[in-house]
Amino acid sequence: HLMNHLKDYHIRLNITNLLTYADGFAVGYFKKQGFSSTITLNEQAYTGYIKDYDGATLMQCSLYTQVTYTRLTETLSLIKESINVIRTHRFNQIKQAHPDAKFLANDIQTVDLSSYDSLLNLDHNETNSSDETVDINLLYITLKSVYQEIRSHPFASHVQKKSIFQDYLSTPPLFPIDLDTIQDRLKAKYYHNAYTFTADVSRLLDTAGRAYANQKKDISNEIRSYDTFVRRKMNEFGLEMGHAPQTYE
């Protein structure tokens, strides 16, 4: 964790590469921290700035300015959650298989394909159908239904502008999301498939659940009730979402 703070500190100083010499006992540790013995920096960039040690390995760690290293675990958890949502949708939207031809053992014969109605009626463009695309109208209808629920007010304001979770979370959401933002993304045609729309809604419920988890019982119950309502509505419109978690960590 201390190394992650060090990385974030250097990024704020616009330093995107770290160098260190590691002895035989420390090489494994630095590899786990993202260091590599492959040096991509020009030698002139560090010659004279780092002391050379005999028998030690020079190692480099390249930093990515888009990453907040002290929140890397949270970021990876969100990515994993989004992937799980996508996988769930892909699994539930697998097309029904067409009946196959039946053969008896040692009964080799020519098959008349015209006798299989499912093949004759097969739409050759079916494989490029709406599986990968999104029905914008369906998403608008779903969002409108969610908006109309009276308990949607804690979800509706722009988190970036009003920081509605500021009083409840020790740190703001890494990727803020709210109903207004989802609506703006719909207008901008941000959602090219239903999976990303569902992932945003799932992230919204997760953020709110964590924000209000430790509040007064009536508030937390209200949030959980709304969570259940949204998931039910999403499922009603064919946008599969799992059940709400029992607790938020």
Domain shared by 195 and 225, yes or no: yes
Residue range 151-200, pLDDT digits in tens:
555 665 544 444 444 555 555 666 777 788 888 888 888 888 888 888 88
Residue 213: helix, strand or coil by DSSP? coil
Q: Which domain holds residue 63?
A: 2-67
Whether residue 232 lies inside any domain: the answer is yes
How many structural domains are present in the chain?
Answer: 2
Burial class (CB in 10 A: 0-12, 13-18, 19+), 101: exposed
Domain shared by 42 and 76, yes or no: no
Domain shared by 49 and 140, yes or no: no
Cα dihedral value 81, 85, 86, 87, nearest 10: 100
Domain shared by 203 and 224, yes or no: yes
Residue range 202-220, pLDDT digits in tens:
888 887 777 776 666 776 7
